[in-house]
Amino acid sequence: MPGLIPTRDEMDGRTAAFVDHIHDGGKVEARDWMPDTYRALNLKFIEMHANSEIMGALPEREWIARAPSLKRKRSLAAKVQDEVGHGQLIYRVAESLGKPRAEMYADLVAGRGRFHNVFHYPTFTWGDVACIGFLVDGAAIVTQRALTDTSYAPYLRVMRRVVAEESLHYRHGEDILLALASGTDAQVEMLQEAVNRWWTPILHFFGTDVAREDDPSIFWGIKPRTNEESRQEWMTTYIPKLWDVGISLPDDELAWDPETEVWSYTEPDWQELADLVKGDPSEATATRLWWKQQLAAHNDWIRDVVLGDEAPVVAA
Amino acid sequence: MTTWEVFGRRRVNDSLSHVGRIHAVDRQTALVLARETHFRHNEAVDYAVVRTDQLHHVEDKSILERHVDIDYRLQAGYSGFRDKRAAAREAAERRGMTDLQTRPAPGRDVSSEST
């Protein structure tokens, strides 16, 4: 039984030719033949991404009514709509790999779906909205931009569009961050406190440092870069921006080495990440899923009216 | 005779785009004629045809009009960042947070590509 990264000897001719194709930068369309492992890994990855867009909209949705001005309310509402839209675009890509969207959504609502760690956390202040909009979205932009070179062509095309919309979210996040950073002492303190809380979740977000040759997602051309490469890129882009506005990061080991051109930092507790995403749902997640369950039940009749008795057909 | 709308993908990372219309009696012929009519010079890595009567255009284009200010959905809605960044830096200086730590050289920052 070959593992997730098969050796040459374990591959049949067709699989070996497929692997050569993607290692050569070739792309794969939904209607092309693909090895089962490629299909399964891609589906898992893309379904988790779609779930994350939906669950990522919820912490921000909680702040639409509490946003400090009409301008912020409508820009936050527009952003939440964009994120849900991204979820739908990405579910369509996942669906092309064989799992119906309704099933993925049912799994998510029932608490069986996996999604990114950063969306399991509660939000306490407007400082959290700044952190999600600027730092968490920044991390998502780093990883999603890398995915515009993924081997699965339908995913690649959707990522190009999503990344273009994310750049708007980046501005929205930076605008909120700068307003707090130039505000009163209490506002700056609120921002600093939120940054302190989000630091570890964002380091976790990129995942453990897996060597290129040991990462099945890289072997199968799903993502082109290692977790650590993405984490370093995020640090290079975002940490100086926080320093510039007088915000510090809660890690004494954090430093850029101009010789090696590598950031050093204190290794976060990875067990904490595993417990969060694999263990019982956090209180915030349980509450948000409860809401989704209520809404799903409450909105069933709309689905019936729009779709009638016909279930949507999965495109081949 | 049936007319068919032809869509092509120039490179793998492009969406399908409309390139024109052809006449053909059936799907097979339409695919061959589309190839000969529109894709003789490496114009596409992929293409598709759709019967013209299966293409449904938006009937009331006014739903695409902007009746209210939607700046917050556009890049243009977020501006003045140079001044805002300067104000935040000045505020940081007033708080005594001016310690310039060693950082990557300018140009390594990738966020500018996205804005």
Angle between helices A185-205 and A153-181 in degrees, nearest 10: 160
When scoring B15, B16, B100, B110 by the number of chain A Cβ atoms within 10 A, the one with the most, hence best to mutate, is B110
Asked whether the beta carbons of B21 and B3 are under 8 A apart, the reply is yes
Task: For residues A13-40, give the mean pLDDT.
Answer: 96
How high is the pLDDT of residue B108?
Answer: 64
Give phi and psi for A208, each to the nearest 5: -70, 160
Contact between residue A212 and residue A5 where contact means Cβ atoms under 8 Å apart? no
**What residues in B contact A144, CB-CB < 8 Å?**
none
Interatomic CA distance for residues B4 and B35, integer angstroms? 13
Listed by number, the residues of chain A in 211-240 with a beta carbon closer than 8 Å to a beta carbon of chain B are 233, 236-240
How large is the angle between the packed helices A101-109 and A70-95, nearest 10 degrees? 130
Estimate the crossing angle of helix A185-205 against helix A270-278, to 10 degrees.
80
pTM for the complete prediction?
0.89
Query: What is the pLDDT, as a whole number, of residue A307?
Result: 76
Query: What is the average per-residue pLDDT within A79-107?
Result: 94
Q: What is the pLDDT of residues B13-37, one digit of tens each?
A: 899 999 999 999 999 999 999 999 9
Cβ contact (<8 Å) for A179 and B84?
yes
Percentage of chain A beyond pLDDT 90 is 87
Q: What is the pLDDT of residue A316?
A: 54
**Contact flag A74-B88 (C-beta cutoff 8 Å):** no
Distance from CA of B25 to the nearest CA of A (A): 25
- Do the Cβ atoms of A181 and B88 come within 8 Å? yes
What one-character DSSP code corresponds to residue A125?
S
Which residues in chain A are closer than 8 Å to B7, comparing Cβ atoms? none
Report whether pLDDT(A79) > 60. Answer: yes
What integer pLDDT is reported at residue B113 of this predicted model?
47
Quick check: B111 and A183 CB within 8 A?
no
Residue A43 has pLDDT above 70, yes or no: yes
pLDDT at B109 over 70: no
Q: Does A29 touch chain B (CB under 8 A)?
A: yes
The average confidence (pLDDT) of chain A is 93
Helices (H), chain A: 13-23, 36-61, 70-95, 101-109, 126-130, 137-147, 153-181, 185-205, 216-219, 227-244, 270-278, 283-298, 300-307
Interface membership of A315 toward B (CB under 8 Å): no
Is the distance from CB of A51 to CB of A117 less than 8 angstroms?
no
